[in-house]
């Protein structure tokens, strides 16, 4: 509709405004009603935007439930804190627990890495977790930090020794295995001795390896064949 005088104030609307839609009077502010097709277009556009938004919401909600099951709502504030980098140590522990429950091990590893420096126990836990995931070198590095920071746990020392042996650092591994054995002089730690002897053999410390096998064999008549294959290997090099 072409408005010449304004229907409200009866003054002429400026030419440049009469060609706009909607027409707005430059005198009183009267605004012409929108054309039906324009209104319909805007309604359709708004409906499409709302529908798209709802679709994205339901898809995101579905993915959240699939990923987190009954933890879907509990984990939301933790995810938000993680996104903005404001997670506390307690938040990280809670997140690690939820991730472990859902077997999201990459997530667990990330949380353990963040809390490792907060205590020696957490450092050892992180190292042990890396070891179980067969990340040998990173695990060994964490155990080294653990002992450099004053850790004394015997199981951690044994685990570290096994990792060093896997990395081919047999001399250092043998020292740690020996420390573990010496820590319990009244107990024959068969598995530890086996690892220790193999580390000694790889380090070419054959006399020590032979002596260790012989000491175990003296403990019992049933142990006469203890590490027979390794003993044959040692005698074959003598």
Q: What is the pLDDT of residues 39-48, one digit of tens each?
A: 456 667 787 8
Tell me how far CA of residue 67 lies from CA of 21, 64, 108, in angstroms.
49, 5, 14
Burial of 92 (0-12, 13-18, 19+ CB in 10 A): buried
Q: What is the mean pLDDT of residues 125-150?
A: 97
The answer, yes or no, to whether residue 188 has pLDDT greater than 70, is yes
Sign of CA dihedral 137, 140, 144, 146: positive
pLDDT averaged over every residue in the chain: 87
Match 């996104």 to its residue by tokens: 83
What is the model's pLDDT at position 99? 93
The string of pLDDT tens digits covering residues 163-174 is 999 999 999 999
Half-sphere exposure of 42 (CA within 13 A, CB side): 5
The answer, yes or no, to whether residue 143 has pLDDT greater than 70, is yes
Tally Cβ neighbours within 10 Å of residue 179.
14
* Lookup: tokens for 12: 């002429």
The answer, yes or no, to whether residue 133 has pLDDT greater than 80, is yes
The string of pLDDT tens digits covering residues 61-82 is 777 666 777 776 788 888 888 8
């Amino acid at each position: 509709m072409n408005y010449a005088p304004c229907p409200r104030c009866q003054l002429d609307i400026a030419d440049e405004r009469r060609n706009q839609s909607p027409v707005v009077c430059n005198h009183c502010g009267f605004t012409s009603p929108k054309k039906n097709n324009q209104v319909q277009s805007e309604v359709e556009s708004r409906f499409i935007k709302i529908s798209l938004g709802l679709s994205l919401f339901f898809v995101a909600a579905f993915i959240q439930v699939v990923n987190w099951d009954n933890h879907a709502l509990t984990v939301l504030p933790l995810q938000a804190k993680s996104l903005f980098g404001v997670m506390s140590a307690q938040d990280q522990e809670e997140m690690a627990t939820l991730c472990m429950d859902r077997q999201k091990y990459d997530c667990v590893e990330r949380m353990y890495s963040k809390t490792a420096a907060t205590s020696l126990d957490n450092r050892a836990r992180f190292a042990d977790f890396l070891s179980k995931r067969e990340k040998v070198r990173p695990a060994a590095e964490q155990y080294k930090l653990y002992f450099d920071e004053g850790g004394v746990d015997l199981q951690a020392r044994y685990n570290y020794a096994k990792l060093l042996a896997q990395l081919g650092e047999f001399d250092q591994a043998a020292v740690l295995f020996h420390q573990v054995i010496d820590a319990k002089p009244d107990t024959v730690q068969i598995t530890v001795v086996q690892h220790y002897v193999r580390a000694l053999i790889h380090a070419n410390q054959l006399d020590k390896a032979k002596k260790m096998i012989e000491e175990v064999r003296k403990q019992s008549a049933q142990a006469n064949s203890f590490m027979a294959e390794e003993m044959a290997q040692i005698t074959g090099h003598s």
